[in-house]
Amino acid sequence: MIEFKDFTISELFTKMTVKGFSKVTEKMTYSEEGYHVFGQNIKYQYSQKVLLPPKYLFKVDTKKPIFAYASSTGSVGMISESFYRSGNNGAFQALIPKFSNYNYHHMLYILAILRKLFKKKNYTTNINDVPKWIIKLPITKNKKIDFQYMEDRVKALEQDRVKALEQDRVKALENYLLVTGLNNYKLTDEDKKVLSYKPEFRKYKIDDIFKIKKGKRLTKAMI
């Protein structure tokens, strides 16, 4: 039987304030070679990647994700890429693991626990005490965190989810074919040829495809 132990967040993570850049003084340049900007909800503030001065970049190893949370919104999430933080809505807090032998699956396990805690807490009063919060983690016979159990548990849940989705898709397809009378349909040679076609894709810059023309700014007199 798996044994669990109480840990405070401060025992497991180092809290670090992540301050953002000012939109007033800094101009963003959209670039695929850039990085995403995260907002207060710990999600992408823009779908595009941007480039800013290096001093604003918070570096994260893709194989060693971190947690981030914002007391103003009561949001918590996981970040697995280097990023910028928008400064318009203040800073958010990063939780950097003190343990080094971890991976994405271990963090997913802990994130599920944290999200339950955040939902229970009143973010207007209790979020500032996050380092004092207590979570239960599985431990080995040597009283160490059982990372293998956490990884196996997450992988098992992922497989169950994939199987459930596959079953739903198969059932939906079977129903569709039955209703449309296509459940006994046989593919012709032409059908097979069409299905075997694999188009090639290339990346293009917007200005390679379209002519960019600057429009006139409307004034009250023009409306």
Examine the pLDDT at 89 and tell me if it is beyond 70: no
Q: What is the pLDDT of residue 9?
A: 96
Over residues 66-82, the mean pLDDT reads 90
Kindly state the average pLDDT of the residues 90-113.
Answer: 92
The pLDDT value recorded for residue 146 is 96
- Per-residue pLDDT averaged across 209-215, rounded? 77
**pLDDT mean over 68-80:** 88
Instruction: Identify the residue with better confidence: 5 or 126.
Output: 5
Give the rounded percent of residues in the chain with a pLDDT score beyond 90.
42
Band of pLDDT at residue 82, cut at 50, 70 and 90: very high
pLDDT band for 123, please (50, 70, 90 cuts): low
Which range among 3-17, 23-37, 152-166, 179-193 shows the weakest confidence by mean pLDDT?
Answer: 179-193
What is the distance, to the nearest Å, from the Cα of residue 156 to the centroid of all Cα atoms in its chain?
20
pLDDT given for residue 75 in this prediction: 86
Range in 33-37, 63-67, 102-106, 178-182 with the lowest mean pLDDT: 178-182
Mean pLDDT calculated for residue range 117-134: 78
* Residue 79 scores a pLDDT above 90: yes
Domains of the chain: 3-151 (3.90.220.20), 154-196 (no CATH)
What is the model's pTM? 0.72
- Digit-coded pLDDT (tens) for 12-66: 999 998 888 877 667 888 888 999 999 888 999 888 999 998 988 999 999 999 9
* Most confident of the ranges 57-61, 172-176, 206-210: 57-61
Residue 86 CB-density burial (10 A; 0-12 exposed, 13-18 middle, 19+ buried): buried
Q: Kindly write down the DSSP assignment for every residue of the chain, as one continuous string.
A: --EEEEEEHHHHEEEEEE--B-TTT---EEEEEEEEEE-TTSSBSSSS-EE--GGG-B---TTS-EEEEETTTTEEEEE-S-EEEB-TT--EEEEEES-SS--HHHHHHHHHHHHHHHHHS-TTTSGGGGGG-EEEEEE-TTSSB-HHHHHHHHHHHHHHHHHHHHHHHHHHHHHHHHHHT-TT----HHHHHHHH---------HHHHS---PPPPP-GGG-
The mean pLDDT of 103-124, rounded to a whole number, is: 88
Torsion (CA) 78, 83, 84, 88 in degrees, nearest 10: -20
